[in-house]
Amino acid sequence: MTGAALPLEARARLDTIEAMDPVLSPADMAFWDENGYVVVHDAVPSETRDAARDAVLDHVGADLNAPDSWYTGRQSIMVQYFQHPAFVANRYSPRIHKAFAQIWGSADLWVTTDRVGFNVPERPGWNFQGPDLHFDVSLAQPMPLGTHGILYLTDTAAEQGAFTLVPGFHRRVGDWLANLPPDSNPRDQDLHALGSIPIAGRAGDFIIWHDALPHGSRPNRANMPRIVQYIAMYPTAPDIAETWV
């Protein structure tokens, strides 16, 4: 374990995470290697999961029993709301930390302070605002390992604006880039044509994905909003591409 100058409380936390039983099974890790994503079930306690859901609803002024309230002031599915005790508790979930630690090979990781999401059903006057499939990082080759995560705060069906990605693309992104027409912009391609799939899940499911996967949301064609929290962890000295492609 690195970080000799860590405060005792932080060091004790890392030691605890290192000593935990694995959250991801060997089958989960093999799935991660092959597909570039993995799902952690029951990633946070139900109390903080539900408190985070209620905090998002309160912040956007929405009542799940009053559909018209879902659309007031909506401009994006992304909600610029970062600080709430339940958000913090979820960010420091031992199960989430352990899963990231297994992927990175170390518990010595930083956790991001990220926003939340509220994706409402499409209806007349409200169409899906995105973000559609995209990349968050440089596509310069070879791409270093990078990870992000999304926590479902409500049960989320595939047609309910579920998180969407192209499984396994981290294994073929280099060949795909090499075979694009000259001078084409890889970010302007039809990324869904690469084989995108929605990831349905239960409240409390946490999806970790490899940064090399095209990913995004999708139109919500169900009858309830999708409510999520974004959480990512990465090493203290991550490998970052020097050029943006």
**Model pLDDT, residue 72:** 87
Instruction: Tell me what pLDDT residue 6 has.
Output: 57
CA distance 14 to 142: 30
Q: Which residue's entry shows tokens 């890790």? A: 29
What local confidence, expressed as pLDDT, does residue 239 receive?
77
| Beta-carbon count within 10 A of 211 CB | 20
Kind and range of the H or E run holding 237: none
Residues of the chain with pLDDT under 50: 1-5
pLDDT tens-digit readout, 84-114: 999 999 999 999 999 999 999 999 999 999 9
Q: What single string gives the DSSP state of each residue in 98-141?
A: HHHHHHHT-S-EEE----EEEEPPPBTTB------SB-SS--PS
Q: Please, are residues 162 and 225 in contact by the beta-carbon 8 Å criterion?
A: no
What domains lie within the chain, and their CATH numbers? 41-179+190-235 (2.60.120.620)
Angle of the 94-104 helix axis to the 8-19 helix axis, nearest 10: 70
Distances from the Cα of 88 to the Cα of 5, 103, 126, 171, 232, angstroms: 23, 22, 31, 33, 12
Q: Is the pTM of this model over 0.85?
A: yes
Position 3 scores a pLDDT of 44
Question: For position 130, what pLDDT does the model report?
Answer: 86
